[in-house]
Each structure stands twice: as C-alpha cells, then as structure tokens.
Amino acid sequence: PPPPPTATTSSNKMNKNGESDQMKWNVYVCQTPQSPKEQKTSTMIPPILDTFIQLSPPNLVSVYPIKLTSSSTGFGGNNPKPPIVRCIEQSTDASFLWNGGSIQQQEEGEEEVKALEITNVDSVDKVYRILTKYMGIKGIDPSARECLKYTYKGNAHLEKGEISSAIESYDKAIQTNYTEQEGIILLMRATA
C-alpha cells in the first residue's frame, strides 16, 4: 500500500499528457494583530506575507492575508505562536469544507486534500523550507532567499537607526545578484 500522506509527500501529479505537473497551492498567512509586547520584538521578524509573495511562483502559489480568531486556529483553543501559516493544495477534483480550522473527512472515492498548518513561521529560511520541502515547489531561486534575508535585516537595522549596519546589509543583498529586488534595495540603501 502507498505510504500515508504527510507534509513531505511529493506535490507532483501527472497531467493528461502523462507529464509531471506541480500542484497549485493556496497559502494563508495570519495577519492577526500582536500584543504590545510582541510588537516591540517584531522588528527582527521579516514580513512573512511579503516573503511568501516574493519567493512563490505566482503560477503555483496564491498567497492571501487572513485574520484568525482563537476559535479558528485549529489547536483546540491553545495559543499557537504566530505567525501562523495555512497551506492548502488546490484541486479541481476535491472539495473540502473548512470547519473550525480542520478539514472535514472526504467522502469515499474523493481525492484527498493536502493541508498544512504551521506556527512560528518567523524567518525567510522557514518560508523557503515550507515552499520547497513541505509543498514540493521546485525552481525557487536560492539567491532570492538570501537577498530577502539581507534586505529584511537591513530594514530592521534602519528601523533601529543603525545606519552603517543597514547599508552593509543592503550591500550584501545587492551582491546576491537577485535582480528582481535590486531597485527596492537601492532605494532603501539610499534612504539609509
């Protein structure tokens, strides 16, 4: 029998021509307001929604901001550590109902829907790992990951008034040669 589905199950399926296609995903990034204490420490956490948008191929991943209430976290009332990310595989054959954070059991014979809920997504590396390892997205440029890490680090330094460190981080971001972000990085560097 095939192994039970897990988060690491490959996302490749065969299309009508017998070619391998990567599955499409919807990613929901929690934008629930943080407590005042968490807001003070949030400058070191990169904007996770932006990171998903920047790293995800738009033809495979749709990214949406959501606001979760404590009753919709799917953790039985526990207080999971934000940011929370939900990844749900799109499928034209499978319909699912969202009920209090869990996916109701499929009828017999229906295709299973893969869904992940991950808490404490607080770095560019974690977003990259979710996309590549758990969702099986291929072809994400590693230089994009490095560029975003340095850019967000530069932004945090700039926010704290650490101008020299900000410029140094922006210079490292430019050195990654990820051209999609070059204009923004140069603007932020000039701002510093």
Residue-wise pLDDT tens digits, 10-65: 344 445 544 336 679 999 998 766 555 555 554 456 789 999 999 999 999 999 99
pLDDT at 90: 82
Higher-pLDDT residue of 50 and 104 is 50
pLDDT at 108: 55
pLDDT at 166: 96
d(CA 82, CA 31): 9
Instruction: Find where tokens 């404590």 sit.
Output: 70
Query: Which residues is 88 bridged to in the sheet?
Result: 26, 115
Inter-residue contact 190 to 182 (CB < 8 Å): no
What 3 state SS string does the chain have? CCCCCCCCCCCEEECCCCCEEECCEEEEEECCCCCHHHHHHHHHCCCHHHHHHHHCCCCCEEEEEECCCHHHCCCCCCCCCCCCEEEEECCCCCCCCEECCEECCCCCCCCCCCEEEECCCCCHHHHHHHHHHHCCCCCCCHHHHHHHHHHHHHHHHHHCCCHHHHHHHHHHHHHCCCHHHHHHHHHHHHHC
pLDDT at 99 over 90: no
Mean pLDDT value of segment 78-91: 78
Mean pLDDT value of segment 104-126: 74
Residue 1: pLDDT band (50, 70, 90) is: very low
Q: How far is CA 175 from CA 47, 110, 156, 184, in A?
A: 22, 49, 19, 14
Of the candidate ranges 12-26, 129-143, 152-166, the one whose mean pLDDT is the lowest: 12-26
pLDDT at 131: 94
Average pLDDT, the chain: 75
Higher-pLDDT residue of 95 and 146 is 146
The residues near 160 (Cβ < 8 Å, ≥ 6 apart) are 43
Higher-pLDDT residue of 41 and 184 is 184
Q: Give the tokens for residue 75.
A: 């953790």
pLDDT at 101 over 80: no
